[in-house]
Structure 1
Amino acid sequence: MTKRVAVAGSSGLIGGALRRHLEGRGDSVLRLVRRPAAAADEVRWDPSAGHLPVEALDGVDAVVNLAGVGIGDQRWTDAHKVAIERSRVDSTLTIAKALAETKQRSGRSIRLVNASAVGIYGDRGEEVLTEGSASGTDFLARLVVRWEAATEPAADAGVSVALVRTGLVMAPHGGAFGPLLLLTKLGLGGPLGSGRQWWPWITLVDEVRAITHLVDHPELTGPFNAAGPEPHRQRDIAAALARSLHRPALVPAPRLALRVVVGEFADRILDSQRVEPRRLLESGFGFEHPTLEAAVRWASAS
């Protein structure tokens, strides 16, 4: 049965791919945009003001919220940190309140699949991290805790809510994986810091499929780790990418050099998070790219 899905953040890497995937299988997509609506499939909202017309959600079966300022787009000044948090918390709270109002007004429950991040766990070394693991204490971890908590008005009203804790999304173009792909093509890929840190990765294809899986299964609630089923260390990811592109992966990037280039965000690049997608696997989800070799082969194909 086809669905009508509202998507916030539909112009981003994941949002654009999700929209194409949903429309490709016959669903209709309503795009939540912050500029004036320019098409019949768009509705204007203002998350900074907490405004989302409740009537715009009439006929909507699910909302996927991917809205948020890019985390690694620029240096983490105090102002940018505020923008990172507000863009996520404000958008989530606005949607959660609108869904709660819809539920209370009409009794109709609209599924919410909300973006989150594996950054909630912080730097955890060799510890295996599942959805039941405790949160970390750094800025990003605290931010993600508040981000997820912003869904509570919807959950408290009886709305079905799933949280997608996403790792490094591998894609041929764009996103956080883009700079690593470019450096490798230039022969400058290699270990970042020691290279021993665990990096939770997932291809854009499987990220979109995981989100769609959660849209289709409203009985699945709470957090879900969106990361490949085979965790790998950063140096192994760099080496696999180099092999796929027939390039060397020998140039190390020390912590100090990363700090100079990207500032405080360097510490998050060097975090170790051995994340397992336990709940996704238990729910019957199957990865199209379950191995690192398959993932980098797809991401480096174009």
Structure 2
Amino acid sequence: MRVLVTGGSGFIGQALTQALLARGDQVVILSRTPERVVSRPGQICVSRLAQVAEPVDAVVNLAGAPIIGGRWSVRRKRLLIESRTEMTRELVRWMGGLSQPPAVLVSGSAIGYYGTHQDEVLHESSAVSVGFTHRLCQEWEQAALEARQAGVRVCLVRTGIVLGQGGALSKMLPAFRLGLGGPIGDGQQWMSWVHLEDEVGAILYLLDHPALQGPFNVTAPEPVTNAVFSRTLARVLKRPGCLRVPAWVLRMLLGEASELMVAGQRVLPANLHTAGYVFKYPDLEKALRALLASGESGSQRQ
């Protein structure tokens, strides 16, 4: 296929681009900062949609300002929403004006769609807890769904905490490697995680199966509490993991944004399971061991 990717210079976007190229697809990356995009055979980079000269078969929309990055001021909230919805609306308008629109749009979202919950198991049809993260994801998804008017199949990827070489794991590792890691608060908040290879694998699966549409939770089928995650990471690193980070400290430092670490969601990938996707890494410890082993081998090669 010929696939247009937004957010191609990001953590997930880079991994997706490599996977697409490895299987023989052509990739067009749309980036406001094309100088940040690594050049690869079979890939071109454009800074405007008007520069896309040939038809594309699919679009993967991952663009958006990082949600982790300080307090959620009014200005920051506006940036988080607009960086997602404006790009998505621009894509939809562009697709609607084509004589041959793409067959499918796989558009990013997050499990923040459901808001904060306790132990409730959440599927794609579960009730939401209204708050900023729900509003952010809901507006992002609604903008993407407008592409259906142009006859485009739309899949919404509600992503959990993505574990890979970079991303959330890279922020946790320094403290845990020093033996200073541990649970946040009481550690009972749920962490719905996914290995980067399964994040990419799920997106490819949605691209390749024309009958699939609508929302899909992209989270491993075995979510864990923050306490279990911390114990598992410490065990894999052979370090203690007993030091707790008081929830009040995060609330004081980050305000409403502390919800991302202090609260949680117990999310299952019900629609992906029904669709037949098989996770390569359903188990947290195996996922962490694979990631840390690949990171060590990569460091040795360098």
CA distance 1:216–1:274, shift in 2 (3 Å): same
- Mapped pair 1:25 → 2:23: yes
1:222 is matched by which residue type in structure 2? G
Shift of the 298–260 alpha-carbon distance from structure 1 to 2, 3 Å rule, reads farther
Corresponding residue for residue 298 of structure 2: none
2:116 corresponds to: 123
Q: Which runs of 5+ in 2 are unaligned?
A: 296-302
3-state secondary structure, aligned to 1:288:
coil
Deviation at 1:44, TM superposition (A): 1.5
Three-state SS of the structure 1 residue aligned to 2:81 is helix
Contact 1:135 1:145 in 2 (8 A): no
Report the CA distance shift for 1:209/1:237 in structure 2 as closer, same or farther (over 3 A): same
SS in 1 for 2:71: coil
Residue 202 of structure 1 aligns with an amino acid whose one-letter code is V
Q: Which residue of 2 aligns with 1:235?
A: 227
Cα distance in 2 for partners of 1:16, 1:294 equals: 23
Give yes or no for contact 1:97–1:153 (8 Å, CA) kept in 2: no
Q: Work out whether 1:175 is the aligned partner of 2:167.
A: yes
Cα deviation, residue 188, structure 1: 1.5
User: 1:297 is paired with a residue of what secondary structure?
Assistant: helix
Give the CA deviation at 1:20.
Answer: 0.6
1:160 aligns with 2:163: no
CA deviation vs aligned residue, 1:176-228 (integer Å, no higher than 9, x gap): 23212222112121111110011100011110111111111132100000000
1:224 aligned to 2:213?
A: no
Number of equivalent positions: 289
Map of 1:76-87 to 2, 5 A cutoff? Answer: 76-87=72-83
- Tell me the equivalent position of 2:262: 270
4+ residue runs over 4 A deviation: 36-40
> 1:95-123 CA distances to partner (integer Å, 9 max, x unpaired)?
12212222xx34x4431000100001011
Post-superposition offset of 1:242: 0.5
Q: 2:137 is paired with a residue of what secondary structure?
A: helix
Return the TM-score normalized by structure 2. Answer: 0.91
Deviation at 1:4, TM superposition (A): 0.8
Partners of 1:293 and 1:225 lie apart in 2 by 21
Q: Name the residue aligned to 1:95.
A: 91
SS at match of 2:109: strand
> How big is the alpha-carbon RMSD for the aligned residues of Structure 1 and Structure 2?
1.7
Q: Is 1:149 equivalent to 2:142 in the alignment?
A: yes
Instruction: Return the TM-score normalized by structure 1.
Output: 0.91
Q: CA deviation at 1:57?
A: 6.3
| Residue 49 of structure 1: aligned partner | none
| CA distance in 2 between partners of 1:283 and 1:256 (Å) | 41
Distance in 1 of aligned mates of 2:270 and 2:277: 10
CA distance in 2, matches of 1:242, 1:208: 26
Q: CA separation in 2, counterparts of 1:7 and 1:58?
A: 14
Residue 55 of structure 2 contacts residue 102 of structure 2 at CA under 8 Å; is this kept in 1?
A: no
On the 8 A contact 2:59/2:102 being kept in 1, the answer is: no
In the alignment, what sits opposite 2:65? 69
Classify the secondary structure of the residue corresponding to 1:218.
Answer: coil
Which ranges in structure 1 are unaligned for 5 or more consecutive residues? 46-51
SS of the residue corresponding to residue 150 of structure 1 reads helix
What secondary structure is seen at the aligned counterpart in 1 of 2:129?
coil
